[in-house]
A and B are shown apart, each in its own frame.
Chain A
Amino acid sequence: MKQSNKSSQNFILLPVTKTTIHPEDSPEVARFLTELSKTGKQESVLKLKVRKNPKEPKEAIAVKVLDSIHTKGAKLISINKEELANFRFSYPGLRIIPEKFYRPALLAHEKIQLQIRQIRAKVVTSFLVTDPEGNGIEGITIVAFSDFTMGKGASGVTNSAGVLKLKLDKNTAERIYMYAEDSYWGYFKKSVKLTNTIKVKLTPIDTSYTDSLRHFYDTPNWSVIKQKVKVGIIDTGVGPHADLKVTGGRNLVKGEDENDYFDNGEGHGTHVAGIIAASGKITGVAAGVELMSYRVFPRGAGASSFDIMKAIDQAITDQCDIINMSLGQAEDDEGIDSYIKEAYNAGIICFAANGNDERSPVSFPAAYSLAIAVSAMGRKSTFPANGVQSSAVQSPYGADKKDFIADFSNIGPETDLTAPGVGVISTFPNDRYAVMDGTSMACPAAAGMAARILSENAALLNLPRNQSRADEMIKYLAIHVRAMGFGANFEGKGMLFNQP
């Protein structure tokens, strides 16, 4: 292994398509790799310029070139992980792959499965969940823990009268969570003394409420995008919803009607779409964009990686400018990666969610170097005091101490951007509204902002659809990113804003 200093890590730089770059494909990438080749033999430290708002002080990224295959080919570099996002935005058009080391395959010990002990019921509590007028609400999920660490407690769903009886082994619940699918904020409380009946009034969603998204982005007062920008959403489908206008799309799920690209009923894709393009009772960050819906999730089941590949291929055919993928998994998938690469070569940028596995490594495809990986952040006082969102508050806090990185957000050096993803109000199928949390919500906030920013640069959008177009789009976005003070491992380069 080539040695590097402790805070640095080795990465392999590769052109987007092949292992070497032809100057005709991307003269800037060819020139850059040639420059790096010149220093490769000395292993000297290069000071590379950082692309950022010209009004801010100049910065440089220290990069050591450790090895090279061909002048215009792969480079092994050592770079501080904190600088990776800066590097990606400053020098787009390259795949950045961590150097890996393989070991002989050894048989691992079997994992020991811990069994949750049966609780002996001591207290029966009847929960009554109502709206502010006192009417019972059906379908509210309640989870009550007598011992949160040990996972002891009970859960269920309220009946048509808004009632659920739960049996617990203690007089006090350490934590109680209540979730509505739509129309209401959730509820969270610690150390609740259990009585025969506990009544809880849920807060209905007020579409004029300033949630975390609208705290950072004053969407109700923004103008509608005039320049044609097309955003493809690969998800559960979109709508129908009065606040959303879907230009087109396709259902890629095997055996389903390819013209039914409405939401499959789960609401995830409709919520994602509203964050980008809603225009009605709520306003998305990029109202006015052309919305394309690519449905890959069958109802109640997972999406095939092949259907996701087909969706990206269709988005390329439809000439989208941006693709939003609020989905992911722990393992890399070469098939999906190869189509993200094809999209990049067609001048399209793919945004992907970091994943919601409590600060685990960034999921794929977000972790793939040609995708823009987005973490989720939140802000205190942008959700009700007893909302479930209060349980997502965790350090690190930003330069403004009210800002925080969500406890559920995956993090790591592959993170490119952060965006609001805690307690976000958006559209839900059949003209309803819902509050959702996740990097799934942060991803469209960033993708939508990118669409808005790019819409102001017609010359850029009119470039030929090739890799250089995608490179230039990323460079233009780079000057609109502001660091929020969390550190690169949590926020990448920072958050997108309208003004540089």
Chain B
Amino acid sequence: MNFILRYIGTGKPDLEQITAVLELHEVKIADDSLLPKSALLKADKTSFTALAASLDANWELIPEKIVKVPDTKKKIRKP
């Protein structure tokens, strides 16, 4: 499962510090196109648990969710 790292603090985020924290927990950035506000992270569940515990209040982790293409035909429970 991937997680999204979000900056929720005020002012400019300290990217060097957060990069060091990610490296420490062996968490890789899978998509950096929204940095410095957000990034998609890739790691195993244990690493995320440890990472979440070591983040300061300026950052939060939220799980990546998957949204399906909506139905455009009447939804019927197929037999």
- Which of A's residues lie within 8 Å of B, judged by CB? 116, 119, 143-145, 151-155, 177, 179, 186, 236, 254, 266, 268, 271, 297, 301-306, 308-310, 313, 326-329, 331, 333-335, 338, 353, 355-358, 388, 391-392, 408, 436-441
Contact of A151 with B75 at beta-carbon distance under 8 Å, contacts A304-B64, A338-B6 already known: no
Within B33-78, which residues are at the interface with A (CB < 8 Å)? 33-34, 38, 40, 60, 62, 64-78
6 pairs, A vs B, C-beta closer than 8 Å: A236-B69, A303-B69, A306-B34, A310-B31, A334-B60, A356-B71
Name the B residues within 8 Å of A388 (CB-CB).
Answer: 73-74
A408 to B73, CA, bound (A): 10
Contact of A333 with B76 at beta-carbon distance under 8 Å, contacts A254-B30, A338-B6 already known: no
Contact of A438 with B72 at beta-carbon distance under 8 Å, contacts A310-B33, A335-B38, A338-B6 already known: yes
Q: Is B73 within 8 A of A186, CB to CB? A: yes
Contact of A306 with B67 at beta-carbon distance under 8 Å, contacts A151-B77, A358-B75, A388-B74 already known: no
Contact of A297 with B64 at beta-carbon distance under 8 Å, contacts A143-B78, A335-B6 already known: no
A47 to B62, CA, bound (A): 40
Q: Is A143 within 8 A of B79, CB to CB? A: yes
Please give the number of chain B residues whose Cβ is less than 8 angstroms from any Cβ of chain A in the complex.
27
Q: Is A408 within 8 A of B79, CB to CB? A: no
Q: Is B70 within 8 A of A302, CB to CB? A: no
B27 contacts chain A at the CB level, 8 A cutoff? no
Name the A residues within 8 Å of B73 (CB-CB).
Answer: 179, 186, 388, 436-437
A470 to B16, CA, bound (A): 35
A437 to B69, CA, bound (A): 13
- Which of B's residues lie within 8 Å of A, judged by CB? 2, 4, 6, 30-31, 33-34, 38, 40, 60, 62, 64-79
Residue of A nearest to B60 (CB): A334
Name the A residues within 8 Å of B64 (CB-CB).
Answer: 304-306
Q: Is B67 within 8 A of A308, CB to CB? A: yes
CB distance from B31 to the nearest CB of A (A): 6
Q: Is A306 within 8 A of B2, CB to CB? A: yes
Q: Is B79 within 8 A of A303, CB to CB? A: no
Q: Which 10 A-B pairs have the closest CB atoms?
A: A302-B66, A153-B79, A436-B72, A305-B65, A302-B68, A440-B70, A306-B40, A303-B67, A438-B72, A155-B78
Residue pairs across A and B with CB atoms within 8 Å: the count is 108
Q: Is A304 within 8 A of B72, CB to CB? A: no
A154 to B67, CA, bound (A): 29
A326 to B68, CA, bound (A): 11
Q: Is A334 within 8 A of B71, CB to CB? A: no
CB distance from A220 to the nearest CB of B (A): 23
Q: Give the interface SS of chain A, mostly helix, strand, loop or mixed.
A: mixed
Q: Is A440 within 8 A of B67, CB to CB? A: no
Name the B residues within 8 Å of A391 (CB-CB).
Answer: 74
A306 to B35, CA, bound (A): 12
Contact of A335 with B66 at beta-carbon distance under 8 Å, contacts A186-B73, A306-B4, A391-B74 already known: no
Name the B residues within 8 Å of A179 (CB-CB).
Answer: 73
A302 to B77, CA, bound (A): 20
A301 to B75, CA, bound (A): 18
Q: Is B4 within 8 A of A309, CB to CB? A: yes
A328 to B70, CA, bound (A): 8
A154 to B78, CA, bound (A): 7
Contact of A331 with B65 at beta-carbon distance under 8 Å, contacts A356-B71, A408-B74, A439-B70 already known: yes
Name the A residues within 8 Å of B6 (CB-CB).
Answer: 334-335, 338
CB distance from B63 to the nearest CB of A (A): 8
Contact of A356 with B40 at beta-carbon distance under 8 Å, contacts A155-B78, A306-B2, A338-B6 already known: no
Name the B residues within 8 Å of A356 (CB-CB).
Answer: 70-71, 75
Name the B residues within 8 Å of A335 (CB-CB).
Answer: 4, 6, 38, 62
CB distance from A297 to the nearest CB of B (A): 5
A271-B72, A310-B34, A358-B75 known; 6 new pairs, CB 8 Å cut-off, are A151-B79, A236-B69, A303-B67, A327-B70, A388-B74, A440-B72
Q: Is B79 within 8 A of A155, CB to CB? A: yes
Residue of B nearest to A358 (CB): B75
Name the B residues within 8 Å of A308 (CB-CB).
Answer: 67
CB distance from B44 to the nearest CB of A (A): 18
Q: Is A353 within 8 A of B70, CB to CB? A: yes
Residue of B nearest to A305 (CB): B65
Q: Which of B2, B34, B66, B79 contacts A145 (CB 8 A)?
A: B79
A305 to B38, CA, bound (A): 12
Q: Is A303 within 8 A of B66, CB to CB? A: yes
A268 to B6, CA, bound (A): 30
Q: Is B69 within 8 A of A297, CB to CB? A: yes
Name the A residues within 8 Å of B31 (CB-CB).
Answer: 254, 306, 310
Q: Is B77 within 8 A of A334, CB to CB? A: no
A455 to B38, CA, bound (A): 34
Q: Is B69 within 8 A of A408, CB to CB? A: no
